[in-house]
Structure 1
Amino acid sequence: MNLSQLRAFHAVASHRTFSAAAQALGVSQPAITQHVKSLEDAVGTRLFQRTAGGVELTLDALDLLPKVRQAILMLDDISARMSDGRSLATGHLAIGLCAPYVAMPILERFTTDHPGVQLDVRLENSSRLLDLVAQHRVDIAIATLREPHPDFACDFLLDQRVEILVHAGHSWWERGEIEAGELRGQRLVTREAGSMTRHLFEAALAERGIELAPHLVLGSREAVKEAVAAGIGIGIVLDRERGFDPRLRALAVCDFNVLAGEYLVTRRETRSLGSVGAFVAIALAAFKEGAADRRQSVLNSLGNTGSSRG
């Protein structure tokens, strides 16, 4: 058993296909296949079952996966410490995002400080991201949460405010804000049920007895923006994700404020190890001052209006 075999196993377990694992590690698919076979011979059991869409982990593989990931991170951590902590020479870090605008400053700094670490970044809604962290398929997630999740290490980064998105020509286009009651009768374009932004918005409406069933459900914020721009309905968006599309305008809801917290989510046992620990340190340094100032500003702006906390 060697590190190459462990990395190959982890890559296949994360990507669920041998071809994607080979691409992620920058090696040939036959090399991945051989490493996995050698590891299976060493542990004396099958680790993957082939399916039409890729592979599924056996029960033994599911038991082995968290131990392998922790071992890889520990070896990366030892390597960095032996080089005086200057940089992680190599490594692989799987990251899940629901808010890419929040993550990009962290990714820029991390890739500058640790160019040898290969990043595998995927976009999912917050509910799906928590599942991926629990399944050891991503090492770190930046997710929108109502509050810290008890099963993970959750570090607060910043708050975002949920706003209403309208298209040019909408009767609200010239306004800067609306009242919650005006939402009745509007056609709502929104994300899927796993979206925390949608969940927080609907919860705030329910608290005020406002029913607003989705008119159209789409799988990404970009699709929601395009649907709103086309005049299909109004949308909801986080203030840092509204962008600069001249076809769209974001409005505040003056009589309630829905705040969505962005958190860095990791497994507790790997939070301080290797590339995960390096990413956490960079993220917290990047957002420490800005998050504190922004949160205080947002809370001060609420005044005596009602608020829903994310």
Structure 2
Amino acid sequence: MNLAQLRAFHAVAKQGTFSAAAQLLNVSQPAITQHVRALEEAMGGRLFHRRGTGVELTADGTALLPHVHQIIKGLEDVSARLENGRQVRSGHLAIGLCGPHVALPLIRRFRATHPGVLIETRMHNSSALLDLVAQMRVDLAIVTLTAPINDLVCHRLVDQHVVLVLPADHPWADRDSVDIAELAGQPFVTREHGSMTQQIFEQALAARGVEIDRQLVLASREAVKEAVAAGIGLGIVLDKELGHDSRLRGIPLTGDDVAAAEYLVAHPEVSDLGAIREFIALAGF
């Protein structure tokens, strides 16, 4: 077992394919394959299930990944401290995003001060991102939460509120607010189950005993907004995610708690290492 093998395994686990891992590490794909095979022989078992479109971690690979992730991030941190005091000059940072609106200004600021760090982003809903952070398959995530998660390092970035999205020509479009009770029987385009925004909305509906008419389930807020603009039904998004679309209006909801916040989340075992530490510091924590 050697460092090249661990780096290859780490890159394949993060990227999902051998070719993407080779591109990330700037080596040939056969070299990545050889390193992973050698590591599997040393471990005495398969680390990946090979699929037609990529790879999936086996149980052994899943168990190994957090330890390798700590090693890789620890080496980046040591290198930074030796070469340039505390600032990371190179490396790789995987950031999970549930939406770009809060995250991209932070990423822009980090890129300005750490141009040598390669940043990869992954878009998922908040529930999926929390799992990826817990598994150390992403270094950081910016997610929607109603409260911090006890087992993770959580830094509150900005408060948000769920707003009702409707077409600009809807009869409610000029109102200052809409009470949740008024939504009973209204046609809605909803988000998937793992969406934290949807979960907050569902809890508010349940608290008031309100039933809506569910027309369609979609997997992104952009798709929801397009469906609302097309007249399929009403929708909900967080206030800072509404954007500037003349076809739509965002109306505050009243009658129950529909508040949340965007949090910067990391695994506690790597939150003080290398580029992860410096991204958190740049965000003001």
Short-chain TM bin: over 0.9
**1:247 matches 2:247:** yes
* SS of aligned partner of 1:73: helix
Q: Which residue of 2 aligns with 1:306?
A: none
Alpha-carbon distance in structure 1 between the residues aligned to 2:46 and 2:163: 50
Q: Give the conservation status (yes or no) of the 8 Å contact 2:207–2:256.
A: no
Q: Give the conservation status (yes or no) of the 8 Å contact 1:95–1:138.
A: yes
Alpha-carbon distance in structure 2 between the residues aligned to 1:277 and 1:86: 10
Alpha-carbon distance in structure 2 between the residues aligned to 1:218 and 1:228: 11
The residue correspondences of 1:53-132 to structure 2 (distance < 5 A) are 53-85=53-85, 87-132=87-132
- C-alpha distance after superposition, 1:249-300 (max 9, x if no partner): 1001243441112111111111101111111111235xxxxxxxxxxxxxxx
Aligned-residue identity in percent: 58
**Residue 22 (structure 1) shift:** 2.2
The residue correspondences of 1:226-245 to structure 2 (distance < 5 A) are 226-245=226-245
Q: Give the conservation status (yes or no) of the 8 Å contact 2:87–2:278.
A: no
**Residue 36 (structure 1) shift:** 1.8
Q: Which amino acid aligns with 2:79?
A: S
Segments of 5+ residues of structure 1 without an aligned counterpart are: 286-310
The residue correspondences of 1:1-310 to structure 2 (distance < 5 A) are 1-85=1-85, 87-284=87-284
- C-alpha distance after superposition, 1:181-205 (max 9, x if no partner): 2211211112101100010011012
Report the TM-score when normalising by structure 2: 0.93
* SS of aligned partner of 1:269: coil
Q: Which amino acid aligns with 1:219?
A: A
* SS of aligned partner of 2:142: strand
Segments of 5+ residues of structure 2 without an aligned counterpart are: none
Q: Give the conservation status (yes or no) of the 8 Å contact 2:8–2:32.
A: yes
Length, aligned pairs only: 285
Q: Give the conservation status (yes or no) of the 8 Å contact 1:24–1:120.
A: no
* SS of aligned partner of 2:147: coil
* SS of aligned partner of 2:49: strand
- C-alpha distance after superposition, 1:3-22 (max 9, x if no partner): 33222111111222212222
Q: Which amino acid aligns with 2:266?
A: T
Q: Give the conservation status (yes or no) of the 8 Å contact 1:14–1:136.
A: no
Report the TM-score when normalising by structure 1: 0.86
Alpha-carbon distance in structure 2 between the residues aligned to 1:223 and 1:25: 35
**Residue 213 (structure 1) shift:** 4.3
Alpha-carbon distance in structure 2 between the residues aligned to 1:180 and 1:60: 48
**Residue 43 (structure 1) shift:** 4.2
Q: Give the conservation status (yes or no) of the 8 Å contact 2:215–2:233.
A: yes
Alpha-carbon distance in structure 2 between the residues aligned to 1:130 and 1:14: 15
* SS of aligned partner of 2:150: coil
Alpha-carbon distance in structure 1 between the residues aligned to 2:225 and 2:11: 34
Q: RMSD of the alignment, in Å?
A: 1.8
* SS of aligned partner of 1:272: coil
Alpha-carbon distance in structure 2 between the residues aligned to 1:57 and 1:65: 9
Q: Which amino acid aligns with 2:9?
A: F
Q: Give the conservation status (yes or no) of the 8 Å contact 2:190–2:217.
A: yes
